[in-house]
Amino acid sequence: MNLGEVLQITAAREPGKTAFIFHDQATTYQAFNERANQVANGLLKLGVQKGDRVAIYMHNIPLFLEAYYGVMRIGGIVIPLNPLYKAQEIAFILNDCEAKAAITVGMFYPAMQAAAAEIPSLTTIITAAAQAPAGALSWANAFGSASTEDPPKTAINSSDVAVICYTSGTTGKPKGAMLTHGNFIGNCNQMNTSQRIGLDGSDVVWVGLPLFHIYAMNVAMNLSVLVGATMVVMERFDPAASLEMIQKYKITAVHGAPPMYIAWASLPSVKSYNLSSLRYCGSGAAALPVQILENFKNVTGVDITEGYGLTEASPVVTTNAAGPFSKAGSVGPAAPGVLVRIVDPETGKDVPAGTIGELICSGANIMSGYYKRNEDTAKTLKDNWLYTGDLATVDGDGYYYIVDRLKDMINVSGYNVYPREVEETLFRHPAVAKAAVVPAPDPYQGESVFAFIVLKPGAQATEQEIIDYCRASMAVFKAPRRVVFRDTLPENNTGKVLRRELREDARQIVTTI
């Protein structure tokens, strides 16, 4: 089976069922399938064939879903682009994957147009605008008159690449993870056979995470289409408006990221919303501090089920939903059908339970490799195991705990300090809203712990107060030596802190003192 067939099968089974709701407008699965067919047939007329790379550069709107499944129907390969990317970033990715076409909307066209001059392979740009600007085709001209019937049959295998998802680039230039139709469908099934998820056609799924991101793309969108659930698509995240949507449409499942849960729990009016329809709230894309999990449950009465995954795994590897209960601070057991081991980063041998090592995984969800990067692929994929670069432990019940990124570990006078442990402590301080810990060069210790903090509105704290607070609950060498207060932290769309930027900021601060 392939992703194009997934939509086709669901539409044939339940043509009148609501596939998605956007701005209070409902679209049935039959209409959704017909619009995807128009995109597919229109692309074929433009010369796009199986294996060609097609960029999708837009935010959460129905056109994203239609374009995505339209490309899938003809065996094209989707290149999802972050709407925040500028021309230079777009040019790097589309040159790297040798994209042939790009689909965007009017508000993002200028950046795509600026990038296009640097992308020799890009022959077609389609933009959803009232009137197509010079150098582009309008959506109406490209797809409006195309047939709504199924496109000519193309042999698409489960092993064919469906999407090249570029990693977030938090540690350098992004790499394109090649994810197959089988990877995506396999991970949907792995997730949905977890004990406490089990989505079906009766579910109403809130889609507020950006669809270009692997978490929303597969766990929210593809899984919903596979089971015939209804998606309620939110264009841009707004805390109060999203709670209104949950209440109005009786949302049953939410896939969120830590900043969303922070925003909801901090909303003064949160308890006034009826959230009783929710049966599943998942958190991914970034580490969820235990304090945030507890705060959210205290103010809403709703449990958050944290999981762990990465782009290269389509993305889910472990989830608390795979176990009979959730453990705070844990990312849960392995999802059904995913094999997970903790190994010594130096020897590659398995380590005992409770010992920190590198998490590696294997299963139907693991990528086929990085596009045109054989050396990086060889370092990451070994004997069908994906080496994640994440440090973790596992307890006696088979629940995993992510300690930190292997590359983010701080070496203080020969002692290992894991930023997440320090951040968990910082989040317990009553004045702290956000925190990120990075290494800073130190002439005596080699590296020292450097903390960037965003305070809660109206809260006050001093650098020394924060340092003393940490020293009171952890070894002195783990506590920050420097604390810098910021109005915001650099984050990507899903709330993952861009540590590379903060590491450079910390380096500059300590070297100019």
pTM here is 0.83
**The dihedral sign for the CA sequence 149, 150, 153, 154:** positive
User: What does the block give as tokens for 108?
Assistant: 């993002």
Q: Do residues 237 and 202 lie in contact, with contact meaning Cβ atoms separated by under 8 Å? A: no
Q: Do residues 330 and 306 lie in contact, with contact meaning Cβ atoms separated by under 8 Å? A: yes
125: which strand partners?
A: 102
Task: Quote the pLDDT of residue 3.
Answer: 97
Buried b or exposed e, range 406-436, using 16+ CB within 10 angstroms: eebbbebeeeebbbbebbbbbbebebbebbb
Task: Quote the pLDDT of residue 161.
Answer: 98
The full length of the chain comes to: 513
- 419-427 vs 290-300: helix axis angle to the nearest 10? 30
Task: Quote the pLDDT of residue 492.
Answer: 76
The CA distance from 221 to 3, in Å, is 11
The CA distance from 310 to 312, in Å, is 5
CATH 3.40.50.12780 assigned to 183-405: yes
DSSP count for the chain of H helices, then E strands:
16, 26
Task: Quote the pLDDT of residue 215.
Answer: 93
Task: Quote the pLDDT of residue 171.
Answer: 44
DSSP-assigned letter for residue 136: -
Q: Do residues 276 and 314 lie in contact, with contact meaning Cβ atoms separated by under 8 Å? A: no
- Every domain of the chain with CATH number 3.30.300.30 lies at 409-511
Note the pLDDT tens digit of each residue in 427-442. 999 999 999 999 998 8
The CA distance from 513 to 505, in Å, is 13
Q: Do residues 461 and 480 lie in contact, with contact meaning Cβ atoms separated by under 8 Å? A: no
- Every domain of the chain with CATH number 3.40.50.980 lies at 3-8+28-156
Say if residue 118 is exposed, middle or buried (CB neighbours under 10 Å; 0-12, 13-18, 19+): middle
Question: Amino acid letter at 292?
Answer: I
Q: Indicate the fold that domain 3-8+28-156 takes in CATH.
A: Rossmann fold (3.40.50)
Q: Which CATH architecture has domain 409-511?
A: 2-Layer Sandwich (3.30)
The CA distance from 313 to 384, in Å, is 12
Report the SS3 class of residue 196. coil
Q: How far apart are the first and last CA of the chain?
A: 60
Report the SS3 class of residue 45. helix
DSSP-assigned letter for residue 319: E
Task: Quote the pLDDT of residue 470.
Answer: 92
Mean pLDDT of successive 10-residue segments in the chain (513 residues)? Answer: 97 98 98 98 97 97 98 98 87 96 95 94 93 89 95 95 81 82 97 89 96 94 98 96 97 91 89 94 83 86 91 96 92 97 94 95 98 94 94 96 80 77 90 93 84 95 95 86 95 78 90 73
Closest CA to 265 of 226, 237, 297, 289: 297
Give one DSSP letter per residue of 234-288, joined into a string.
-SS--HHHHHHHHHHTT--EEEE-HHHHHHHHH-TTGGGS--TT--EEEE-SS--
